[in-house]
Amino acid sequence: MLRRITIMALAGARLMSAAIAEDRPDFARAADLVAAGVRSADSYLRTGNVALAQIEIGEATTAWTKLQRDFGDISPPGYAVPAFRSFVSAGGERLAAATKAIDDGDTSRAASELLSFRQALYGLHHASGLFDLGDCVFELAPAMEALRTAASQFAETQGTSPAGVIATAAVFRDRLQRCNGWASDAIAAQSEFRRLIDGAIAGSGEIGRAAQAGDGALVHRYLIELQSFERLLAFRFG
């Protein structure tokens, strides 16, 4: 069931990216199209659907070729010139490296190249003062990884202090609330966004309480749920 929901969310991610991009500058719209393919490819790699990941990378590469043709190395208004040039000079290389890695059967390296592409786009936004909801959602991943590490250790080792779970869950919850604040009125009102963000915020509180109660099994259950929320937020709104 969760896998079906994830695939449906991925299919909607492209439509969401196009809809959000309508009111944004042309370069932002073009970059959104590339990023949508990169996010989808990353998701398919996570679930072992390598053939579909190849298709998505191919579409992202096509969109990237058009972006380079339309913009070259000339920074659009509002973008930091050094960061823009760094992004456009390396973006195609990262997509090509991801394609080669998949062809070589190295899906871990492919995922790493896709992550590098997303980090570069995030860096461009940050350097240009263009932080948005997608960037906020991108920042959820390291907070989720810290919570995963703490929760896994707690669930697997009896007698472990709940302090690590409680602290990392609080950080994750703060990041989620920040993203909720970054959502536009239109997105914030969407039932899907509300289900994901509200569910994750609630779960990040519950996992801390489960740890405080010493319930390792419940901590593990909330961890799986929170990981699903974080991934769906990334694929749908990242």
Q: Do domains 2-131 and 137-237 have the same CATH topology?
A: yes
Q: If you classify domain 2-131 with CATH, what class do you get?
A: mainly alpha
Secondary structure string (H, E, C) spanning 133-178: HHHHHHCHHHHHHHHHHHHHHHHHCCCCCCHHHHHHHHHHHHHHHH
Write down the pLDDT at residue 46: 85
Residue 10 is predicted with a pLDDT of: 52
**Per-run averaged pLDDT (10 residues), the chain, 238 residues:** 50 48 66 92 89 96 93 86 91 95 95 94 92 92 96 86 96 97 94 96 96 94 96 86
pLDDT recorded at residue 12: 55
Helices 26-46, 107-128: axis angle to 10 degrees equals 150
Structural contact between residues 169 and 219, judged by C-beta atoms closer than 8 angstroms: no
The domain spans of the chain are 2-131, 137-237
The C-alpha atoms of residue 200 and residue 227 are separated, in whole angstroms, by 9
Identify the pLDDT of residue 24. Answer: 42
Q: Does domain 137-237 match CATH 1.10.287? A: no
Contacts of 178 (CB under 8 A, 6+ apart): 136
Q: Which amino acid is at 144?
A: M
Give the C-alpha distances (Å, rounded to integers) separating 151 from 148, 177, 208: 5, 20, 9
Longest dimension (CA), the chain: 59
Question: CB–CB of 76/85 below 8 Å?
Answer: no
Predicted structure pTM score: 0.78
